[in-house]
Amino acid sequence: MTSGVGAPRRARISARTLRTDRWWLPPLLTNLGLLTFVVYAGARSFMGKWYWVEEYGYLTPFYSPCLSESCLPGSSHFGTPLPELPGWIPLGFVALPFLLGFRLTCYYYRKAYYRSVWQSPPACAVAEPHGSYSGETRLPLIVQNAHRYFFYVALVVSVINTYDAVLSFTHGVGLGSLVLSINVILLWAYTLSCHSCRHIAGGRLKHFSKHPVRYRAWTLISKLNVRHMQLAWTTLATLMLTDLYVMLVASGAISDLRFF
């Protein structure tokens, strides 16, 4: 190794680390958290059923927008411009790649998976296994620079998810409507707390005093931005829980709790 801890001017220490604490615990927990989401979201996206409750208008966010003729009647809130799809294509395939791109290129998730999955480095004072480092200057990591564009698509998807949640209230009010609403509020909080969003609102300005509206927006987004990590994890959990609730109601495993 000729770079990193193996660079010629670094001290020659053969041990990977001299740390004796449980430095491996945070990367392990991060890996387990991300793996849980990837396995759950993958399984549900390819399941192709139990994503829509017609009686109450509940559509899981993993299948929204559902734009194909394969979608269950009533679940296509924006029509069916696409033909029937083979079973191996997830019905939510229009939005899923962009949402995945949005999360993968998110500044917080980068920090999380660079340390845990990439191990680059896994912790302070722990040598990484890689022999060279090219940062985000080459494929595939150069794609990280497209985060701002994934953010624009994520904004549109948040609007669509909001529409889905609001539409459920036209069928009355049940626990499912509240679950969809809480999920969408948190999704908005995560999306608006994005670092790109903060920069779009208040970046490249020489004088905040000449742009009071952008300054105000930047101030509000900055308050959310400090919670970006918490929102990133919370929304992973609420996405899974929302989908799980819709799946359980749609499959008949549980009944929706109705208030009105």
Rounded least distance, CB 221 to ligand FES, Å: 11
Nearer to ligand FES by C-beta: 171 or 228? 228
Which residue's CB is nearer to ligand FES, number 157 or number 194? 194
**Smallest gap, in angstroms, from Cβ of residue 107 to ligand FES?**
4
Nearer Cβ to ligand FES (94/106): 106
- Give the residue with the Cβ less far from ligand FES, 44 or 147: 147
Q: Which is nearer to ligand FES, 40 or 107 (CB)?
A: 107
3-state SS, the chain, equals CCCHHHCCCCCCCCCCCCCCCCCCHHHHHHHHHHHHHHHHHHHHHHHCCCCEECCCCEECHHHCCCCECCCCCCCCCCCCCECCCCCCCCCCCCCHHHHHHHHHCCHHHHHHHHHHCCCCCCCCCCCCCCCCCCCCCCCCHHHHHHHHHHHHHHHHHHHHHHHHHHHHCECECEHHHHHHHHHHHHHHHHHHCCHHHHHHHHCCCCCHHHCHHHHHHHHHHHHHHCCHHHHHHHHHHHHHHHHHHHHHHHHCCCCCCECC
Place of tokens 């979201």: 41
Contact positions vs ligand FES (CB under 6 A): 106-108, 147, 151, 194-196, 228
In the complex, what is the shortest distance from the CB of residue 154 to ligand FES, in angstroms, rounded to a whole number?
A: 7
Write down the least CB distance from residue 108 to ligand FES, Å. Answer: 5
Residue number with CB closer to ligand FES (13 or 143): 143
Query: Rounded to the nearest whole angstrom, what is the least distance from the CB of residue 195 to ligand FES in the complex?
Result: 4
Q: At closest approach, how far in Å is the CB of 99 from ligand FES?
A: 10
Nearer to ligand FES, 71 or 160 (CB): 160
80 φ/ψ angles, rounded to the nearest 5 degrees: -125, 70
Q: Are 250 and 208 in contact (CB under 8 A)?
A: no
